[in-house]
Structure 1
Amino acid sequence: MSNWTPDDIDWSAFAADRVDSDLLKIAKAAALTESNGALYGLYLSRVFHDEPAFQEKTTLWAAEEVQHGEVLGRWASLADPTFDYADALRRFRAGYTIETEVEGSVRGSKTSEMVARCIVEAGTSSFYTALKDASREPVFSDICRRIAADEFRHYKLFLDTLDILLAREGAGVVRRLMVALGRIRETEDDELSFAYHCANYPDRPYVRETAYKDYAARAFGAYQKVHAQRAAAMVLKAAGLSSQGRLGQLAGSLLWVYMRGKLRTARAA
């Protein structure tokens, strides 16, 4: 379980004049997606129904994800008193659902499921580190620092579980890499876009492409190359490839080029 709670945050240090409006919009959306951890926890408990020890770990993981959402929602309400986190979350959950009543992983195997979970945690750990570095508001920076550390620990949990599963199920590098790349592409699906819409523009009609580009124009702008390199190294490990040397440098550079391209496309829209 996380070694911090909302009470550990110095909320009195909040500085309204240092809030970045773009980061605020991102934080509102992140508050909603993090809260979906409860549903993903139910999903994983079904996938791993025959492994109670891992089920217990995913229950704790889900609780931490929900805490992330609640803390981000509380900060966003400080930064924008008109933002109602509970109301935004109701809208989001009414329009976006996750299938939890499954017989097995939607990715075909437990091994592939753990690869996909590693990719998510690699992305979120790097994402919150980027937000921390981009923010001038001290409370938000502290929250992002804490969340980034949690997400890296989650990555390690899923990576260690992946190693155990590989000994039982096996999965080649090509298969793992395909799952990893597929999960990266899923960042453009409805979950992020709809969360951004519900959190920021609930009175407008929802257009996924418009919401995603609006989100991407802000989120990708927070990244520095070092954040892309960090994420790429974590992705390579999950795929069974070395994150050191020329391959690691190449992967980091390619991911950075991809991110900058997404930023340019979104800003041009």
Structure 2
Amino acid sequence: MESSPTSATPAPQPVRWHISEIDFSRIDIPRIRHNQDLFYLVTSASFIETGSDMYTRNLVRHYAAYPEVAEWLQQRWEPEELQHGLALRTYVETVWPEFAWQTAFDGFFAEYGAMCTDEELEDDRTLELVARCVVETGTTTYYETLRNLATEPVLADLANRIRTDEVQHYKYFFQYFRELQASQKLSRARIAAVLYKRLAEMRESDSDVALRHVWQHRPPLFREGNFEELSQRTYQLVSSSLPIEQVIRMLLKPMDLPKRVEKWVQPPLQKLGRRLLSA
């Protein structure tokens, strides 16, 4: 029997920054305009973040029995995700104004919406929080990678702001997981199964759908090549730059392993992660 999170759950806090704080007029456009890789990374991220309200509705319904979780999703998580999308969209439209952002997004959202169903969520609410930790691990490390790859200061600042938000999202989902797990006591085997399942799904995910719709409407500046080559190059660029040590640490936390065991398994998992990412 699942129980509600306790009063120890941190209450939603005001958003940490606002899009009005970013001066998009200061973007060094010549420095980034011809960077095809960053165009695809930033634009596909803007699609995913802008579409987060649909996924939020599903999660709010899923956690209707847990008012604190539902409140945090609606009052904190969704507004921050949508702000990420708006900020990234503004950046894209400032640097590449000829890109038909809304048209491309509409195509993405039609396909993405079909993927965002209640059936995609874990039936067990505690295990769905494990899945959320996997997703937030991916977004945290994605924006850290984007920040490190950024060749333009405003983009680096924006990626860092979003990364900071995603770290806090991970902490909230993990805290809620711990509170439910305290009474439910799911086995490590079940938790590991969800971790593995969600990791296996990450490459065949919304990011691939977003990338494809960006490519279909790409501006004339980036007309060369084919989608398969672009997809592989983008994947390799991100995966080769991911902070794998951080990824493994964040993924292991829901397992609640003894410290000595966690320390022992981290190095081989890091090696395995690097090997899988380079495949």
- Report how far residue 13 of structure 1 moved: 2.3
Q: 1: distance between equivalents of 2:123 and 2:232?
A: 30
| Residue equivalent to 2:3 | none
CA contact (8 A) 1:112 1:179 kept: yes
Q: Is the 8 A contact 2:93 2:101 kept in 1?
A: yes
The CA deviation at 1:105 is 7.3
Larger relative contact order (C-alpha < 8 A, sep ≥ 6)?
2
Residues 111 and 166, structure 1, Cα contact 8 Å, conserved in 2: yes
Q: Which residue of 2 aligns with 1:94?
A: 110
Q: Quote the Cα distance in structure 2 between the aligned partners of 1:45 and 1:212.
A: 36
Residue 16 to residue 232, structure 1, CA distance change in 2 (3 Å): same
Aligned to 1:115: 130
Q: Does 1:142 align with 2:157?
A: yes
Deviates more, 1:220-229 or 1:59-68: 220-229
Cα distance in 1 between the residues matched to 2:205 and 2:192? 23
Aligned to 2:87: 71
1:249 aligned partner, one-letter code: P
Distance 1:248 1:213, change over 3 A: farther
**Is the counterpart of residue 251 in structure 1 residue 266 in structure 2?**
no
Q: Give the distance between the partners of 2:185 and 2:86, measured in 1 at CA.
A: 38
- Verify the 8 A CA contact 2:145 2:241 in the aligned structure 1: no
Could you tell me whether the CA contact under 8 Å between 1:40 and 1:98 is conserved in 2? Answer: no
- Render the CA deviation track for 1:70-105: whole Å, top value 9, x for unaligned: 111111112211123322221111222157674x87
Among all aligned residue pairs of Structure 1 and Structure 2, give the percentage whose two residues are the same amino acid.
25
Where does residue 228 of structure 1 map in the other structure? 244
Q: 1:107 to 1:5 in 2, by over 3 A?
A: same
Judged with a 3 Å threshold, the aligned counterparts in structure 2 of structure 1 residues 171 and 224 are, in CA distance, closer, same or farther, namely same
Residue correspondence of structure 1 range 201-220 to structure 2 within 5 A: 201-202=216-217, 211=227, 214-220=230-236
C-alpha RMSD of matched pairs (Å): 2.3
How far off is 1:213 after superposition?
A: 6.1
Does the 8 Å CA contact 2:44/2:210 hold for their aligned counterparts?
yes
Cα distance between partner residues in 1 of 2:229 and 2:60 = 33
1:17 equivalent to 2:30? Answer yes
Q: Which runs of 4+ in 1 moved over 4 A?
A: 98-102, 210-213, 223-226
> Would the aligned equivalents of 1:33 and 1:191 in 2 still touch at CA under 8 Å?
yes
TM-score by length of 1: 0.86
TM-score by structure 2 length?
0.83
Match of 1:30 in 2: 45
Measure, in 2, the Cα distance between the counterparts of 1:190 and 1:136: 27
Count, aligned residues? 254
Give secondary structure in 2 for the equivalent of 1:4: coil
